[in-house]
Amino acid sequence: MATDKPKVLVLGGCGFIGRHIVAELVGKELAGSVCVVDKVPPQIAWLGPQHQKIFDHHTVSFKSANLINQASCTNAFGEEDWDWVINAAGETKTGQVDPVYREGIVRLSTNCATEAAKKKVKVYVELSSGQLASSEKNGHKESEDVSPWTRTAKFKHQAEKEIKAIPGLNWIVVRPAIVYGPSDRLGITPRLIFGAVYRHLGEPMKLLWDQNLIINTVHVTDVARSIVWLCQSGRTGEVFNLVDEGSTTQGHITNIVSDIFNINHDYFGNTLSNFAKTDASGLVNEINEKHLAPWAAVCSADGIDNTPLTPYLDQV
């Protein structure tokens, strides 16, 4: 049956943000068809019941692909004339070496964008990073110079530059703040895990820096809605920051975590935190040693044998 609704290709669609984009498209009947492309199949992607139902919808199909490989990327696009291509794929794990990020972010995104240009896709959305500027006082506008402060953001910005240089590509770049919500593993969830650990230990939770540390946030549902709205608007050739109006700080989040787990908390302050940076590797090892066994005990007590959630911190 013919439909005038867009055909949408969601790259990295089984991931945290990708699955919410699929849910937005399917749940609101905004797409005629949605093809999810991911290296991880839905069956082992830790989808919750809501997303499992979405992925079983008759308008949703799945393709397995390694988008770092150009041939695999070309195969993922197939012969369809896609209206929208949304790239939510890419390496997100911290603590990797530069070549891993260069392949898993820059090469992957360039492959996808190049293929989208060949297919004359109406809108190509690149999910970048909001960690491109750091200021305790002023917000950062899309038109201002950037200074990436994480390694993933450094390569995301490099990918942005590559994408913008591709002739004939109708690109939109989205830069979200720290994203949280259902299925989050890397945004706010680690702080919740620490809360559970310190409740088990019966100790106050002590954090680096202080309560005034700015931690800009945005809910994953708002990210998904924004991306779909941008596709509908066709505002190509523009960059968009995505952040909520909460002016979130470490204090806001820590107070909530402390209330949930009924624990006390404190901060090391800026002086001690700066000193700790001189031996970041040793600090991370010490933290992991303290947290891993209690987390295993917490999971065991609740009958959880397998979980994607962990308090383990990678070396940054």
pLDDT per residue as tens digits for the range 227-264: 999 999 999 999 999 999 999 999 999 999 999 999 99
Q: How far is CA 23 from CA 67, 215, 219, in A?
A: 22, 27, 14
Q: How many folded domains does the chain comprise?
A: 2
pLDDT digits 0-9 by tens, 186-236: 999 999 999 999 999 999 999 999 999 999 999 999 999 999 999 999 999
Distance between CA atoms of residues 131 and 151, nearest Å: 9
User: Confidence class of residue 147 from pLDDT cuts 50, 70 and 90?
Assistant: confident
Distance between CA atoms of residues 193 and 10, nearest Å: 30
Q: How many helices (H) and strands (E) does the chain have?
A: 11, 11
Do 150 and 254 lie in one domain? The reply is: no
Do 159 and 284 lie in one domain? The reply is: no
Q: Is residue 34, in this structure, part of any structural domain at all?
A: yes
CB 176 within 8 A of CB 242: yes
Q: What is the mean pLDDT of the chain?
A: 95
User: Confidence class of residue 67 from pLDDT cuts 50, 70 and 90?
Assistant: very high
Q: Is residue 93, in this structure, part of any structural domain at all?
A: yes
Residue written as token pair 């939109």:
172
pLDDT at 1 over 80: no
Q: Is residue 43, in this structure, part of any structural domain at all?
A: yes
Distance between CA atoms of residues 313 and 282, nearest Å: 12
**So what's the pLDDT on residue 46?**
98
Do 148 and 228 lie in one domain? The reply is: yes
**So what's the pLDDT on residue 155?**
97
Residue 269 structure tokens = 């302050």
Do 136 and 209 lie in one domain? The reply is: no
pLDDT digits 0-9 by tens, 91-139: 999 889 999 999 999 999 999 999 999 999 999 999 999 998 866 567 7
Tell me which residue range forms the domain holding 274: 189-214+248-301
Q: Is 145 exposed, middle or buried (0-12, 13-18, 19+ CB in 10 A)?
A: exposed
